[in-house]
Structure 1
Amino acid sequence: MGFLTDTTHFHIFTWVVGIILFLASASMAAGTKGKKITHMILRLFYILIIVSGAALFFKYQTNDSMLYGIKFLLGLLTIGFMEMTLVRGSKGKNTGLMWILFVVFLLATLFIGFKLPLGFDFFA
C-alpha cells in the first residue's frame, strides 16, 4: 500500500479527476444517460479519494493530528456537498446554497491541505 502513502500524487490525482467529473456531471442535462454514468464514475472516485486520504491521514496524523483531522473532516464535507448538489439538481430542486457550500468547503480543504507539512509550499 506504499503507493497510497509514499507521496500525495495518487490522492491529488483522485480529487482533481473527481472535481472534473463533478463539474462535467453538473453541466449535463438532468435525466440523461451520460449524466447517470458520469455520476456513478464520480461515486467511484469519491471512494478512491476517501481511501487515499484516509491512508495519508493514518500515516501522518502523528505530526499534527488536529490539522490532519480538520482537513479530513473538511474533505468529507466537500464530497458530501458535491453529492448533494448533483442529487438536488437531478430532482429539480434549488442548488444555489449547495454550490456555495461546496466552493467554501473546497477552498478551505485545499488551503489546509496545502498548509500541512505533507502539502506543497508555493512561496518557498
Structure 2
Amino acid sequence: MLESLFFDSTHLHITTWVIAIALFFIALSKYSTGLHMALRLFYVLVLVTGLLLFIQHHGIDDMMYGLKMLAGLLTIGLMEMVLVRKKKGKEISKVLVGVLVLLIITLYLGFRLPVGMNFFA
C-alpha cells in the first residue's frame, strides 16, 4: 500500500507542489521565518516525491523527464532566492519573473509527460 502511494500515482507529488506554491505566495506577501521553514519542508517533499516518480517512470521518455526534473529544481531554487532576497530587502522583481516563467514551463512539461494529465492533447 505505501509503495503504491509513492510509485503508482502522481497524487502525492501534485499535492506537495500545490501546497508549496500556495505557501510560497503566502510567504511572499507576508514573510515569516516559520512560514519559510514550512515551505522548505515542502520543497524537500516535492523533491522526494518527484525523484521517486522519476525513478519509476523515466524509462518512458528519458529526455522529457530529465528536463522536467531540471526545470523543477531550478524553480525551487529561484523560489528560495526570491524569499531570501525579500528577507534581505533586495530587489526581487526580476527573480520573481524567472520563478513564474520556470513554474509555467515546469507545469507544462509535467502535464505533457505520459504519466501526467495531458490537457494539451
> Which category of TM-score, normalised to the shorter sequence, fits these structures?
over 0.9
Write out the 4+ residue segments of structure 1 that deviate beyond 6 Å after TM superposition: none
Aligned with residue 14 of structure 1, among 10, 13, 16: 16
Cα distance between partner residues in 2 of 1:97 and 1:5: 36
- 1:72 and 2:69 matched: yes
CA root-mean-square deviation: 1.0
AA aligned to 2:96 is: W
Cα distance between partner residues in 2 of 1:123 and 1:48: 27
1:1-124 superposed matches below 5 A = 1-29=3-31, 35-122=32-119
AA aligned to 2:11 is: H
AA aligned to 2:15 is: F
Shift, 1:123, TM fit: 5.3
- TM-score, L = length of structure 1: 0.93
Cα distance between partner residues in 1 of 2:38 and 2:73: 18
**Identity across the alignment (%):** 48
Cα distance between partner residues in 2 of 1:97 and 1:58: 33
Shift, 1:83, TM fit: 0.2
AA aligned to 1:101 is: G
How many residue pairs end up in the alignment?
119
Point out where structure 2 has 5 or more consecutive residues left out of the alignment. Answer: none
